Amino acid sequence: RKLGYAIVGLGSYATRQIMPRFKDCRFSRLTALVSGTPSKLEQYGEEYGIPGRNRYSYANFDSIRSNPDVDIVYIILPNSMHAEYTVRAARAGKHVMCEKPMAVSSAECQQMIAACRQANRKLMIGYRSRFQPHNIEAIRLARSRAVGKPGLIESEHGFTIGDPTQWRLKRALSGGGSLMDIGIYSVQALRYMAGEEPVSVSSTEFTDRRDVRFRDCEDRIAFNFLFPSGLIGQGFSSYNSNHNHLRLSGDKGWIDLDPATSYGGQKMRVRIGSDEREVDPPAGPGANQFAAQLDHLSQCVLTNREPIVNGEEGLRDLRVMEAIYRSMKEGRTIRL
Ligand code: NAD
């Protein structure tokens, strides 16, 4: 059986990356749309064959409760709206997929987890890279000690942000700057490659506050994690330079992904001793990372399993990011 998804927020990521991927899914289908813009409901409703009764505004969203076509609500709104819509979806009896970052604070994450638990509904965060073949293979190689005992993991993520009026640059909607939006990929990657949780965090920020884009939000942050095994993580986040990279170095070699977490085109090189080669990973769990992510939650619902990237996983990233911000403000190492 294919479970029905309602998409909340018909912006760029929803309409260009997620909605076109339902055709590649085995356990998921698109059955409803939620938007504040009637013309988008009309346009995408026609394109995807969504009947009028399954098109919702934010005002009548809660009536989705009585719609048997919808099993899962997927929230693809600006970050500050994730918590409210997750709680409303859970109260309407629906399972929830929520985009990254899970919310704008760890306190909100806890409310979201509690609301889904109380409603006995699954909660998953849209960490698509965990369903991407190169990242899956990199994690497998790291865990199997293919490059020996890991000493350092590096991950840099950034892009040059444009329009200074967009919600990503308004703290009230984004919760912060590059770290909340793109640096979170570095935070996630350091954690999933390490397979352990950082015990301390330190960071350094640089933002040119004269730049109209950065009146409200930070531009660049470099951060360091210390893991319990002695492994060090070095992360970078930027709104003014371009990076998409992940590398783990061990005492016998290294694993390098560049690009690491993009929508496509991942490349992986591995060096073990003196042998260096490009690695083509085995096929992933779905036709692509997006379909595999959508189908993972459907399968978890169908078989009553916990998603590999559940609310607790989203909360862990928020806690680490709050520590990065605290270190930046207080100019000291934060113990976790
Ligand atoms: P976007 O600006 O393209 O879309 C946001 C949508 O929210 C728009 O349709 C907009 O109309 C709607 N909206 C509702 N209330 C709004 C308000 N007060 N202000 C602004 N917009 C409002 O953004 P996006 O790139 O689609 O990002 C949406 C979410 O998806 C974010 O949480 C982002 O982090 C996440 N995202 C994830 C990935 C990924 O690869 N996993 C990629 C891009 C975005």
Residues 138-156: tens digit of each pLDDT: 999 999 999 999 999 999 9
Q: How far apart are CA 185 and CA 158, in angstroms?
A: 9
Where residue 39 sits, what CATH number does that domain have? Answer: 3.40.50.720
Q: Read off the pLDDT of each residue in 53-59 and give the average, rounded to a whole number.
A: 98
- Look at the alpha carbons of 274, 277, 282, 288 in this order and tell me if their dihedral is positive or negative: positive
Do 135 and 124 share a domain, yes or no? no
100 given a catalytic annotation: yes
In the block, residue with structure tokens 């912006």: 11
Q: Is the C-beta atom of 250 inside 6 A of ligand 1?
A: no
Pocket probe for ligand 1: among 74, 96, 157, 167, the residue whose CB has the most ligand atoms within 8 Å is: 167
Q: How far apart are CA 185 and CA 138, in angstroms?
A: 15
**Looking at ligand 1, which atom is closest to the CA of residue 79?**
32
Q: What is residue 212's predicted lDDT score, i.e. its pLDDT?
A: 97
Residue 167 C-alpha to ligand 1 middle, in angstroms?
A: 8
Q: Is the C-beta atom of 176 inside 6 A of ligand 1?
A: no
Residue 78 C-alpha to ligand 1 middle, in angstroms?
A: 5
Structural domain boundaries enclosing 56: 3-128+288-310
Q: What is residue 294's predicted lDDT score, i.e. its pLDDT?
A: 99
Where residue 134 sits, what CATH number does that domain have? Answer: 3.30.360.10
- Spell out a b/e string for 199-224, using b for 16 or more CB atoms within 10 Å of the CB, else e: eebbbebebeeeeebbeebbbbbbbb
Q: Read off the pLDDT of each residue in 216-242 and give the average, rounded to a whole number.
A: 98
> What token pair was written down for 207?
């933002």
Residue 173 C-alpha to ligand 1 middle, in angstroms?
A: 10
Residue 328 C-alpha to ligand 1 middle, in angstroms?
A: 27
Do 46 and 140 share a domain, yes or no? no
Q: Tell me the per-residue pLDDT of 295-321, one tens digit each, with 9 for 90 and over.
A: 999 999 999 999 999 999 999 999 999
ipTM score over 0.85, yes or no: yes
Do 149 and 217 share a domain, yes or no? yes
Q: Read off the pLDDT of each residue in 213-228 and give the average, rounded to a whole number.
A: 98
Q: What are phi and psi of 62, to 5 degrees?
A: -65, -20
Do 257 and 144 share a domain, yes or no? yes
User: What band does 180 get if pLDDT is binned at 50, 70 and 90?
Assistant: very high
Do 166 and 112 share a domain, yes or no? no
User: What band does 56 get if pLDDT is binned at 50, 70 and 90?
Assistant: very high
Q: Is the C-beta atom of 259 inside 6 A of ligand 1?
A: no
Q: Is the C-beta atom of 237 inside 6 A of ligand 1?
A: no
Do 114 and 157 share a domain, yes or no? no
Q: What is residue 242's predicted lDDT score, i.e. its pLDDT?
A: 98
For the chain, what is the domain count?
Answer: 2
Average pLDDT, whole number, for the chain?
Answer: 98
Do 173 and 135 share a domain, yes or no? yes
Which residue among 127, 185, 192, 325 is the active-site one?
185
Do 20 and 78 share a domain, yes or no? yes
Do 67 and 10 share a domain, yes or no? yes
Q: How far apart are CA 257 and CA 138, in angstroms?
A: 8
Q: How far apart are CA 7 and CA 97, in angstroms?
A: 9
CA dihedral angle for residue 25, residue 292, residue 179, residue 37, rounded to 10 degrees: 10
Q: Is the pTM of this model over 0.90?
A: yes
User: What band does 64 get if pLDDT is binned at 50, 70 and 90?
Assistant: very high
CA distances from 140 to 49, 137, 156, 244 (A): 40, 5, 21, 20
Pocket probe for ligand 1: among 82, 99, 217, 289, the residue whose CB has the most ligand atoms within 8 Å is: 99
Nearest CA to ligand 1 atom 30: 76
**Looking at ligand 1, which atom is closest to the CA of residue 77?**
7
Q: How far apart are CA 28 and CA 20, in angstroms?
A: 12
Q: Is the C-beta atom of 13 inside 6 A of ligand 1?
A: yes
**Looking at ligand 1, which atom is closest to the CA of residue 166?**
2
Do 92 and 20 share a domain, yes or no? yes
Q: Is the C-beta atom of 102 inside 6 A of ligand 1?
A: no
Q: Is the C-beta atom of 9 inside 6 A of ligand 1?
A: yes
Compute the C-alpha angle 282/285/288, nearest 5°. 90
CA distances from 142 to 36, 76, 95, 131, 184 (A): 44, 32, 32, 16, 20
Do 70 and 97 share a domain, yes or no? yes
Q: Tell me the per-residue pLDDT of 246-275, one tens digit each, with 9 for 90 and over.
A: 999 999 999 999 999 999 999 999 999 999
User: What band does 173 get if pLDDT is binned at 50, 70 and 90?
Assistant: very high
DSSP 167: G
2 given a catalytic annotation: no
How many CA atoms lie less than 13 Å away from 81 in the CB half-sphere?
13
Which residue among 44, 56, 85, 100 is the active-site one?
100
Three-state SS letters, 224-256: EEECCCCCEEEEEEECCCCEEEEEEEECCEEEE
Do 183 and 326 share a domain, yes or no? yes
Q: What is residue 9's predicted lDDT score, i.e. its pLDDT?
A: 98
